Structure 1
Amino acid sequence: MNLPGRWKQDDSQDVVAEIIELFRDRGDSGYGHEAVTQLQHALQAATLALESNATSQLIAASLLHDIGHLLHDLPDDAPDQGIDDHHENVGFHFLKTHFGPATYEPVRMHVDAKRYLCAARPGYQETLSEPSQVSLRLQGGPMNPAEVTQFESNPHYHAAIELRIWDDTAKDPDKTTPPLEAFEPHLRRALAANA
């Protein structure tokens, strides 16, 4: 996966400022075929986490769960072309350099959480938007029983499920959220938790 030039560096002095800059530079890109931008989607997911009294690490994960979409150079319609962009892995590798597992593991696992919920929660798959159904097929479809067991063995699987539910809900073009800067303290607390 080719990352935009300046994002190849892992030795950033202020990763929070870089993340905010990344959202400013690329956050207005479309969120697939959903009616929101990448930034709107991220802010809505983080707001849902905040409203649920999640930890700063999980609020940061909710804000950053799709950062992989902003870090690669694939087109917004990659799923329509049959391409799984593996954004969860791109995001995980970027975040693992700076954050702890309570932040990067839910990000890494949020795609698998969709697959898990499709297998473990009857009726869940039917609630997914059409673009999410398309990406589900590219991502492997519902988990098989062995994958379900393996997913449940990760200590962060409950957080990944929470993030997934917020992710599914964070697609309202009319929803009002706090601005990006309002989440900076949560990003900094999540970083400090890993120090």
Structure 2
Amino acid sequence: MTALADHAMEWMKSMQAGSREERVDLLFAYLNTHGQSSYDPSVTQLEHALQTARLAHQESHQPHMVVASLLHDIGHLMIDEHDERGDFLDQDCAHEAVAARALSVFFPAKVVAPVQRHVSAKRLLCSLDETYYAGLSDASKRSFAVQGGELSRSEAMRLLELEGMNDAMALRRWDDRAKVHGVEVPELDAYRQVVLDHLL
């Protein structure tokens, strides 16, 4: 697994020592500080997270999915992976595994599983639905290849049986749509209570 940035290790230490309320403050401060890097040419990483969370709130009405959607790409921040460096498309640094490992200390499995599986969900959707692949951006198609490409039928069937995969596929579809420049969304603090409710 890709090594964590120094700031991620410091953040994790602070999170482990904090109360539940302090953990929300630390988490949101981390997202605000390190989410200002570019996700793609249209949005920052924080904007992408907020757009994904808004879609989850509007379309799922499941609080755990809102939290998972807000935090699904925090692994990119933890390994300093962002568009300015071009590293999203050069190699697979397993940002979803980085995120899942960190979040599992603080959140239940129903939040962590969709985060952990949202990359696999992309591969699954691409393998089962040609129209889904056709609708991806060029950058998403390139990262799909880097992340392993199309699955065999047996691989796809195994993934479908994994815990949290249906949630991960829903998250993936919101993820794909959450790249709109200039769209107005609720600010991060709007999610304080739902995140607090899901902290262990």
Q: Same fold (TM over 0.5)?
A: yes
Query: Deviation digits for residues 76-121 of structure 1, max 9, x if unmatched?
Result: 31134x2212110110011001101110000000000000000111
Structure 1 residues without counterparts, runs of 5 or longer: none
Equivalent in the alignment of 1:147: 155
Q: Tell me what 1:45 maps to.
A: 52
1:142 deviates by 1.8
Equivalents in 2 of 1:54, 1:109: separation in Å? Answer: 20
Question: Once the 2 structures are TM-superposed, how far is the Cα of residue 122 of structure 1 from its aligned partner?
Answer: 2.3
Residue 2 of structure 1 corresponds to which residue in structure 2? Answer: 4
Kept in 2, the 8 Å contact 1:44–1:177? The answer is yes
Q: CA deviation at 1:12?
A: 3.6
Normalised TM-score (structure 1): 0.92
**Equivalence map 1:83-98=2 (5 Å):** 83-98=91-106
Q: Provide structure 2 residue ranges, at least 5 long, that are not aligned to the other structure.
A: none
CA contact (8 A) 2:37 2:82 kept: no
Does 2:170 align with 1:162?
yes
- Contact residue 38 and residue 82 of structure 2 kept, 8 A: no
Q: Secondary structure at the match of 1:78?
A: coil
Shift of 1:75: 5.0
Residue 66 of structure 1 is matched in structure 2 by 73
Could you tell me which of 176, 179, 183 is aligned with 2:187? Answer: 179
* Aligned residues: CA RMSD: 1.5
Q: Which residue of 2 aligns with 1:79?
A: 88
Corresponding residue number in structure 2 for 1:19: 27
Structure 1 residues 43 and 74, CA gap change in structure 2 (3 angstroms): closer
Return the offset for 1:145.
1.3
- Provide the TM-score with structure 2 as the length reference: 0.89
Question: What is the Cα deviation at residue 8 of structure 1?
Answer: 4.1
Q: Is the 8 A contact 1:57 1:189 kept in 2?
A: no
Q: Which whole-Å CA distance do the structure 1 matches of 2:140 and 2:183 have between them?
A: 20
Aligned AA (2:4): N
Once residues 184 and 76 of structure 2 are traced to their aligned partners in structure 1, the CA distance between those partners, rounded to angstroms, is 22
Task: Look up the equivalent residue of 1:11 and give its one-letter code.
Answer: Q
**Between Structure 1 and Structure 2, how many residues are aligned?**
190
For the 8 Å contact 2:82–2:88, the answer to whether it is kept is no
> Are 1:115 and 2:115 matched, yes or no?
no
SS in 1 for 2:16: coil
Counterparts in 2 of 1:115 and 1:187: CA distance versus 1, 3 Å: same
Q: Distance in 2 between matches of 1:177 and 1:28?
A: 16
> 1:145-195 CA deviation, whole Å, 9 max, x = no partner?
12211111113111001100000000001211000000111111222xxx4
- Is residue 81–residue 88 contact of structure 2 (8 Å, CA) maintained in 1? no
